[in-house]
Amino acid sequence: MEYTWRWYGPNDPITLSEIRQTGASGVVTALHEIDNATVWSREAISARRAEIEAAGLTWSVVESVPITDAVKLGTPEREADIATFCQTLCNLAAAGIDVVCYNFMPVADWTRTDLAMPLPGGGTALSFDQTAFAAFDLYLLERPGAGSDYSAAEQSAARAYLDTLDGPARTRLIETVTAGLPGADNHYDLAGFREAIARFAGLDRAGLRRNLRYFLEKVVPVAEDVGIRLAIHPDDPPRPLFGLPRVVSNAEDARWILDAVDRPCNGLTLCTGSYGAGADNDLVAMAREFAARIHFAHLRSVGHDPADPRSFHEADHLGGDVDMAGVMRALIDEQIRREHAGGARLPIRPDHGHTLLDDVHRETRPGYPLYGRFKGLSELRGLESGLSYRVQSS
C-alpha cells in the first residue's frame, strides 16, 4: 500500500521535508487557494506538483475538489459548476494525478464540539458530544425547527449543559461547531451559518440523492475517459445534522452510490473514523464488500460513549471501537488481488491524530498535527507489516 500524508499547501506549518521524514511517500493535497467555482489551471497544478516532487514526494491524491452548493441543491447554476469540476479533472489527469476525493455534505464538513479533549496520558483529541451539539443547535444557533429534532429530555439536558458554560466557553463551542470547511478559510458567524442552512430548506434525503446522481452521471464519464478514480468521502458524523440530510453514512448509502453510476472509477474513500462514528457500521464487512471500489482510505478510530453512542472521541489509531486489524487485513487482501490483476494502487493515510509532544507549541489545523499523525502512520505501517508477514507465512 502507498502511505500518504495530508498537506494543506505552502501555508501548512508542517513542511514537505517533515512529511518525508515521517515515512510517507505520497502527498494528499488540493489547491485550497482557488475558489470553488474556478477551474484549476494546468499551470497551477503543475507548479504544485513540481514543488512536491522537489521534496522527494509524489502528489498521490487530490483532497478535495470542492462541490458547490448549487450542485448539492440542484439549482440551474450547477451546470456551469459541474463543467468547472470536469475541466479540473481533465487538467489533473494531464498532470498524471489519478485519484480525487470529494464530499457531498451540505453546509458543514466534519463537525466536532471539542477540538482539544484532554487525554488521560497527556495530549488532546477531537471529540463530538451529542448534548453539547444539541445545546449549540437549540440555544446558541437557535435554528428554526430544531426543537422537533430533540426529545424533551434531550432539550432539558442541553439547557443544563449550556448553563454550565461561561461566556468564553460558549464562544469556543460556537467557533468549534461553525469552523467551516477543512482546507478553506471560510468561517461562519451564527447569522451566516443560519443563512447557509436556510438555503437548503426543503431539500430532503431523496432530493439530495437525486442531485448526487445527476452529478455522478455528468462527471463519471469524464473521469473514466481521462483515467481519474473518484472517491466520495463519507459524512462525519454519519447522520443528519442541523436538519439537513446526509447520504453517505452507511453501507446502504455506499451501495446506492456505486450502483447509481456503476463504473469502476466511481468509488469510495473508506474513512474508518467517519463511518466508524456510526456505531452500527461494520467497518470490516464494508472494507471487504466494497474492496474493489475503494480508491482511497483514511484510517483512524473512534471511541463511543457507552451512555450515548452518538457521542464519540477520536481514539488511538489502533484503539477505540474500530477493528483496525480487520480493516487492514481486508485492505491487504485487496492490494494483493490488485497486484495479481495488474490493478491500481491503494493510497491510505493516517487520518487526524492526537495533539502530542511538541504539537502543542505549533499552530496546525484541528486534527492534523505532526506527531499525532506520525504516531498513527507508524502504528499502521507496523500493523500492515505484521499482518502481511502472517499472510506470507500461512
Q: Which residues are catalytic?
A: 233, 271, 298, 351-352, 368
List beta partners, residue 114: 127
Helix 370-393 × helix 324-341 angle, to 10° = 60
CA–CA separation, 359 vs 374, rounded Å?
11
Cell numbers placing 295: 480508491
Cβ–Cβ < 8 Å for 307, 130: no
**Sequence-distant (≥ 6) Cβ neighbours of residue 15 within 8 angstroms:** none
Instruction: Map grid coordinates 470536469 to a residue.
Output: 86
Dihedral angle of Cα 379, 384, 390, 393, to the nearest 10 degrees:
-130
308-315/124-128 β-pairing: antiparallel
* DSSP per residue, 330-362: HHHHHHHHHHHHT----EEEE-S--B-GGGGGS
